[in-house]
Amino acid sequence: MTQPNQPVWHEPAVSRDQRWTHHQLRGATVWLTGLSGSGKSTIADGVARELLAADVLAYVLDADNLRHGLNANLGFSDADRSENVRRVGEVAKLFADAGVVAVVPIISPFAADRARVRVAHEAAGLDFVEVHVATTLAECERRDTKGFYAKVRAGEMRGVSGVDAPYEAPTAADLMVAHDGESVTESVRRVVEHLRQLGVLGSRNA
């Protein structure tokens, strides 16, 4: 027997195929994981600019920005980091279903959390591209764009992924970028080319 407070799935009147076909859209999620300072947001912005130039609707779901609103009530415990990834993954899936390319720069330190996001997309019939932004810890510390590494090394801060908190690097990412001195331009090009191969850009942008 159905309980009165249990949500019931409501099938939309306009299907995904109808929406994508009518508006010439094809949604997907590009999930950029890597250490703080690895260049995830810079690459995400570059991908968004290239997709704009190709007339592809895209939106950057920056994890830091989402912590100002949707995830403002979450901290940085392991449980909160997992919940942060779950929420961002669900939002990305909604964007992709709508026909938007969701570009998500997020540390997402735990492999199991990233795998759950992938499985949710695949179960919904949506493309999910995991991109490992594989900048080394040494280079991330050299950049120290947010000052986190200096603070944790000085004992003024705790919980930095890859230093005193876990970071489980992907072992089978769809793409690995930003390694061996690869430039931002080349990393962006390779992500966009992967999306082209998936058919996200479409023949009109070939």
* pLDDT, tens digit, 9 for 90 and up, residues 135-170: 999 999 999 888 888 888 888 888 888 788 899 999
Domain membership flag for residue 197: yes
CATH of the domain at 88: 3.40.50.300
Domain membership flag for residue 154: yes
If you average pLDDT over residues 55-70, what whole number do you get? 96
The rounded distance, in Å, linking the Cα atoms of 126 and 165 is 31
Q: Which amino acid is at 17?
A: D
Task: Judge whether residue 206 has pLDDT over 90.
Answer: no
Q: Which residues pair with 128 in a beta bridge?
A: 29
Domain membership flag for residue 156: yes
CA-CA-CA-CA dihedral for 54, 59, 60, 65, to nearest 10: 150
Domain hosting 188: range is: 25-201
Domain membership flag for residue 152: yes
Domain membership flag for residue 111: yes
* pLDDT, tens digit, 9 for 90 and up, residues 38-49: 999 999 999 999
Domain membership flag for residue 1: no
Name the residues annotated as catalytic.
108
Domain membership flag for residue 11: no
Q: How high is the pLDDT of residue 139?
A: 93
Verdict on whether the full-model pTM lies above 0.85:
yes
Domain membership flag for residue 55: yes
DSSP secondary structure of 51-74: HHHTT--EEE--HHHHTTTTTTT-
Q: Strand (E) positions, the chain? A: 28-33, 58-60, 101-105, 127-133, 175-177
Distances (CA, A) of 163 to 41, 52, 84, 153: 20, 36, 20, 9
Q: How many CB atoms lie within 10 A of CB 65?
A: 13
Task: Judge whether residue 15 has pLDDT over 80.
Answer: yes
- How many domains does one find in the chain? 1
pLDDT band at 123 (very low <50, low <70, confident <90, very high): very high
